Amino acid sequence: MALSSEEVDKLLNFFFDEASESQTFEHFLSQVTQCFPKAYNYKVGVCIYNLLYHNILTMPAQRILALTLLNEMYRGEPFINNPFSCFIVGLCQSDSSRKKPVPPNLKISDSEKYFLSHLLVSSQVKEMLKKTPTFIVKTEFGPMADIKPATSTSVEDYKELRAAAKEILSNPSPPALQTYKPGPIRLVPPLAVGDENVSNYSHVTL
């Protein structure tokens, strides 16, 4: 479940291209998705996580591009379906409210947190993606967005999934068996009634 060395090299080229800093997030995402189709989302995400974890993407513009890509790869799906949702939320939270630790070497600026938090809950995502990493890094923003709606929905969905899994796997009488049962066996009647049919079936023993 990992990218090949050639694929990692292609992905790195996107982040280390200086032109990416002044291009819109929308353009960057389009380039990456053209190179890596949806089937590669998880592999690309794992690679990005490791690049961030080991502090290989050291520039703020590189980090915000990477974090945006982690989130936008799963845009259109429930947030809980994003395998990196806990990681993304953890970066937006303060040290006191964070439930899961984040990589110790990964430090993101307030501007990056602001952009990432609004990316999770804003209804104006398309407008946000038309901005450039340079603009985000160099601009001072106001307070972060309230990401509780995104996290609470994830927690509720997670609880429902756990409850459904327990019901299906531990119930001695699964719901499927309560609904679907084999139908009765019906013998096919003869096509016509006559002595010839009786003689044909006379040798059959039931």
Tens of pLDDT along 99-144? 666 777 788 888 888 898 888 887 788 999 999 999 998 887 777 6
Which ranges constitute the DSSP H helices of the chain? 5-16, 25-35, 41-53, 60-72, 85-92, 110-121, 125-128, 133-138, 148-170, 175-179, 195-201
Mean of the per-residue pLDDT values of the chain = 80
Q: What is the pLDDT of residues 153-175, one digit of tens each?
A: 554 455 566 666 676 666 666 66
Q: Could you tell me the CA-to-CA distances from 171 to 34, 130, 166 in Å, in that order?
A: 45, 50, 8
Cα distance between residue 102 and residue 64, in whole Å = 16
Of the two residues 24 and 87, the one the predictor is more confident about is 24
What share of the chain in percent tops pLDDT 90? 39
Q: What is the DSSP letter of 80?
A: G
Whole-model pTM: value is 0.69
Token output for 111: 């501007």
